[in-house]
Amino acid sequence: MIAGFLNIRIKQFIRAMSGLGLFRVVFLSGLLGFGAFVIFMLSSGEPNSYYVTGGLVLMLIILHLNRRDKAFLKTHFNAYRLLFLVEYALITFPIALVLSIHSQWIPSLLLVAATGIVTQLDYKPKQRSTNSLVQRLIPSAGFEWKAGIRRSLFYIVPIWFIGLGTSFFIGSVPLVIFILGIIPIGFYENGEPVQMILSYEKNSHQFLWLKIKLQLILYSAITLPLIGAFILFHTELWYITFIEYLVFITLHIFLILTKYTFYQPNSKSPAASIFASIGAIASIIAIFLPIVWLLSIRFYVKSVKNLNFYLDDYN
Amino acid sequence: MITIKDLTVSYEKPQKVINGLSLSLGEDTIHGIVGLNGSGKTTLLNTLYGIKKPDAGEIRRDGSPLTKKQMSYLVTENYFYANITGREYLGLFKNQAFDEDKWNQLFLLPLDQIIDGYSTGMKKKLALLGILKQDKPIMILDEPFNGLDIETCRVIRSILLRLKEKGKTIVITSHIIETLTNLCDFIHFLENGAIKISHDKTGFNAFEREIFESIENRNMQMIDDLMK
């Protein structure tokens, strides 16, 4: 069974790669190679080796909690946990090996142990029908935010208030703006039904600008009070949060354009997910930012072209 | 009049899902498209609605290209965006005259709950409410009765008949022929990507018999062999 599933995974991977096209595969391979080099260098000493382990385990937990085939596997196969273990080991084993090469035995063992523990996690986040005041303030056209806020309101609100309440600490507001900037990345994962796109009754350019404008307004609404508080206490460092705000605005625009470049009704595009991950990485490793900006220009043209097929009546 | 002429559609060439299909659909009427699984019903509707590009052929309404503005489309899978409520979904469609709560008295949906928690039938009802709210002259409905209880099926049937009286053109698919004979003015049988035969109401009984006989002839011998 395990061999059969791994065979299917390899086929899925090959199909996804051939769907991406040669140019993107080469581009992504380059990025991955660079990422692998960074991880290799980071894992050579403490405390970075622990950060690499922690980051990878966190990624694994998110992956495990969000995978959609769990119910299917549980229903049909007794050894489903073993399958999880084999799949996750394929991801973590190379890193554990790199850590061992650098004699980082404790992080390496922690990584191996965590891989086993993650397969035992069986938590399913509850879906809430929260209809808070915040939800009502978001216009219908911003359905991604309505859905996203509903999913994450229970931690956005405390984070926001902690940020505001501790804004006299120099690192507090920048950290909270960073977290609030990362959260909307998940809002644009899924492609909506075509009827929802048509309901705007706009041409492709107008549609994209409306989406960008809404994102700008909604993100500004949650971050500007925090920026205000930061400037109040740290006037001479005003530019820190301002630059951070601008970086996230450009990242969010990139996400919207990525979504509609690869948009197909009712589906989640693997290519869009990969490029969204590059956007997320760019928020941490600034060297990727120019790539994101250049891709945004390209994706604007491509998303207009893609949307023209669906919105041709309004062009 | 909606005219489909020499329509050819494929996903992976050279296999054609729709193969040179021609069909005229009169307006203010209900047209049923019936066919076996994989016969091309959904592909035909996707192409009619304009979300699947044809390889060849054209679709026109009174001589002009048919546009999405003139149509609403109920897809078969009941797909909705995750984590939004029924009311938020309906809120996307602009029609001030449509009273969601009044219409919902027919369907009894929990509109303020997120759609992810709805049953299959409830999702279908919500999708139908969305179609009704859009109020377009042409309604395309792919398997609208799937997953619905008897009462809702009757309600939908009555609504569709009233809509026809009000001048709407309805194109509806089903793989259950009885559903269509009770509702449609015309039924078109789709086989191997082309319309094999079309009937108006007077020919429905003979048509139904003919279809069942052809299916039985095709499969009974094999079933007998397998069940020995």
The whole-number pLDDT of residue B21 equals: 92
Give A192's contacts in chain B (Cβ within 8 Å): 81
Taking a contact as any Cβ pair under 8 Å apart, which residues of chain B between 50 and 69 contact chain A?
Answer: 50-51, 53, 67-69
Give B69's contacts in chain A (Cβ within 8 Å): 313-314
CA–CA dist A128, A114 (Å, integer): 29
The burial class, CB within 10 Å (0-12 / 13-18 / 19+), for A211 is buried
pLDDT > 70: percent of chain B: 100
Q: A221, A211 in Cβ contact below 8 A? A: no
Q: Does A293 touch chain B (CB under 8 A)?
A: no
Lowest-confidence region among A28-32, A101-105, A176-180, B55-59? A28-32
With b for 16 or more beta-carbon neighbours within 10 A and e for fewer, the A218-257 pattern comes to: bbeebbeebbebbbeebeeeeebbeebbebbbebbbbbbb
Search chain A and give the residue with CA nearest B116. Answer: A127
- Cβ contact, residue pair B92, A265, below 8 Å: no
Spans of all domains in chain B: 2-77+136-227
The burial class, CB within 10 Å (0-12 / 13-18 / 19+), for B81 is buried
Give A146's contacts in chain B (Cβ within 8 Å): 83-84, 88
Q: Which CATH fold topology does B2-77+136-227 show?
A: Rossmann fold (3.40.50)
Token pair belonging to B158: 């009555």
Report CA Rg, chain A.
Answer: 21
Token pair belonging to B76: 């078969």
Taking a contact as any Cβ pair under 8 Å apart, which residues of chain A between 110 and 129 contact chain B?
Answer: 127-129
The whole-number pLDDT of residue A46 equals: 80
Candidates B64, B74, B96, B114, partner chain A, best to mutate (most A CBs within 10 A): B114
Spans of all domains in chain A: 2-120, 133-314
User: For A24-74, how does the pLDDT look when each residue is reduced to its tens digit (9 = 90+)?
Assistant: 778 778 777 877 787 788 788 888 888 888 888 888 888 888 787 888 888
- ipTM rounded to 2 decimals: 0.76
Candidates A220, A71, A72, A90; CA nearest to A142 is A220
Confidence of residue A203 (pLDDT cuts 50, 70, 90): very high
- For the beta carbon of residue A60, count every other beta carbon within 10 angstroms: 21
What share of residues in chain B are helix, strand, coil (percent, to 5)?
40, 30, 30
CA atoms within 13 A on the CB side of B34: 23
Helices (H), chain B: 41-49, 86-91, 100-107, 120-134, 150-165, 177-181, 204-227
Shortest Cα distance from B130 to chain A (angstroms)?
9
Position A236, amino acid: E
